[in-house]
Amino acid sequence: MKTEREIMLSGKLYKSGDKELIAARKAGKRCVALYNQTAHEDEEQVQELLEDLMGKIGKDSYIESDLYIDYGKNIYIGDTFYGNTGLTILDTCEVHIGNNVMIGPRVSLITAGHPIDAAVRVRGLEYGKPITIGDNVWIGANVFVGPGVTIGDNVVIGGGAVVVKDIPADTVAVGNPAKVMRPITEADKANWEQQEKDYYDNRNK
């Protein structure tokens, strides 16, 4: 017989009032409360707390306080990740974040969902769908990413977007609901590489 945790992670309806799940949420919330109260000047302690909290946290990855999670252990983050203040991750299902990802203030990654039918909903059944974010992604401030969404590599999500469908790699997406505005092109690459060159040239003058 499957546990409620196994059912939850499979994306099927499950009972969130299960004792094992309640204990896991309490453990995650204790850990994240300590993380938010810690003086973040101590980089080693911050890293240790993130390792205790998350399923995986890569090297050179950091999250500002205040962070909010449901479980923590269902979150897997790659290297060189930066999460700005007010990041909320409801990890009813797994959240996978790649390398070199930047997330702006007050972003929500929400895997959790509730039945549309009120009668089923009030009986305490919930569900979740995983979220996957690729490498080299930049997500602007106040973005909502909903259950089941996959964001491809090198994507830019504009501030305030509501992302409820998959976003393909190498694109810029904005709006509510978020839609692909345009691809990221070789012209973008050339423009920003020139600006980078100008920056170093100006520093060396």
Catalytic site positions: 114
180 touches 167 (CB < 8 A): yes
- Report residue 50 as tokens: 């993130």
- Identify the three-state secondary structure at position 76: strand
Closest CA to 81 of 61, 66, 106, 63: 61
For residue 4, give the amino acid letter: E
70 touches 53 (CB < 8 A): no
Using CB atoms within 10 A of its CB, is residue 197 exposed (0-12), middle (13-18) or buried (19+)? exposed
Question: Could you give the CA distance from residue 50 to residue 59 in angstroms, rounded to a whole number?
Answer: 11
